[in-house]
Amino acid sequence: MKVSLLHMEIRTTLEENLIAARAAVQKAAKQDPVLIALPEYFTVPNCMADFKDAAKISQETAAKTISFLQEISRAIGDIYLLGGTVLEEDGGKYYNTSTLWRKGKLLAKYKKINPIQAEVKAGVSKGSVPMVLDTDLGKLGMIVCADTFDPDLVKRVADMGAEIITLPVAAMGTHPTVKGHPLTEGIARDFGMFILKVGNVCSSMRGGRSAIIAPWGILGEVSDAPEDSVLSADLDMQRLREYRAKISIA
């Protein structure tokens, strides 16, 4: 089954980001994938360069982003849509929230458990509940960016049966340069998972390069070209389950 990741250039305004995201989703949908995924904070302008006030960012971007996701999900029908992340308010707190949609319906919402220091300083709160859900694709686990640095969380998601992990990412300017995908390749191999790592152009060299990763290797990754691109690959669930049986993953 085919999945498509939208590796995006982040524009200078919310409106430009929404226009670009719409075009990218429509382009990917023509390839008839079962899932399309957007990156972390894909509507926040300027690659998070001005990420200093969570409340302000949420007020300016959240409602329009959620409305867009619902609308475009309805337009693409049966295709699952991983809505990157949005900075959403809940109970007076602000969470980096990843959403999953289908036919315009919100299926799941996951609040990032491990926001980075810059997020916390800006007012982003920590989520607390891991997310794995049954889908037509298999068991889907939802984590976000720095969650991969939390081995206990990764193991909890694996123990909950996740076969596919959605991983929207966005590396900030302070993030060190990373070559390849050593952390996510290790997670995929050790736990028997496909990892759908979807980042953006401006953070590619700092660990935000989009890639589709299997336990047996990288199925595809984007180039260094500073432009929007759609990365697609086929996930062999039968081969994955055979691999998981060999390493005794239930």
Q: Is 91 exposed, middle or buried (0-12, 13-18, 19+ CB in 10 A)?
A: exposed
Most confident of 38-52, 74-88, 235-249: 74-88
pLDDT, tens digit, for every residue of 104-134?
999 999 999 999 999 999 999 999 999 999 9
Alpha-carbon distance 86 to 94, whole Å?
A: 10
Return the pLDDT at 194: 98
Alpha-carbon distance 106 to 103, whole Å?
A: 9
Q: Which fold has domain 2-246?
A: Nitrilase/N-carbamoyl-D-aminoacid amidohydrolase (3.60.110)
Q: Report how many helices (DSSP H) and strands (DSSP E) the chain contains, helices first.
A: 6, 14
Alpha-carbon distance 126 to 93, whole Å?
A: 9
C-alpha Rg value of the chain to the nearest Å:
16
Which DSSP letter does residue 126 get?
P
Q: Pick the closest to residue 132 from 123, 116, 124, 143 (CA basis).
A: 143
Q: Tokens 């193991």 map to which residue?
A: 155
Q: Pick the closest to residue 17 from 3, 6, 28, 4 (CA basis).
A: 6
138: left (phi over 0), alpha (psi -120 to 50) or beta: left
Which DSSP letter does residue 200 get?
B
Across 183-209, average pLDDT: 88
In which band, very low, low, confident or very high, does the pLDDT at 166 lie, cut at 50, 70 and 90? very high
Return the pLDDT at 62: 98
Provide the pairing of β-strand 194-198 with 164-168. Answer: parallel
Token pair of 231 as six digits: 């990365």
pLDDT, tens digit, for every residue of 212-227?
999 999 999 998 778 8
Q: Pick the closest to residue 54 from 8, 138, 116 (CA basis).
A: 116
Please check the confidence at residue 178 and state whether its pLDDT lies above 70: no
Give CA 49 to chain center in angstroms. 19
Mean residue pLDDT of the chain comes to: 93
Q: Is the distance from CB of 34 to CB of 1 less than 8 angstroms?
A: yes
Return the pLDDT at 174: 55
Please check the confidence at residue 204 and state whether its pLDDT lies above 70: no
- What kind and span of H or E run contains 232? strand 229-234
Return the pLDDT at 44: 95
Q: Is the distance from CB of 222 to CB of 7 less than 8 angstroms?
A: yes
Return the pLDDT at 244: 95
Residues 6 or more apart from 47 whose CB is under 8 A from it? 10, 170, 172, 173, 200, 202, 203
Domain range summary for the chain, segments of one domain joined by +: 2-246
In which band, very low, low, confident or very high, does the pLDDT at 230 lie, cut at 50, 70 and 90? very high
Across 49-65, average pLDDT: 94
Please check the confidence at residue 203 and state whether its pLDDT lies above 90: no
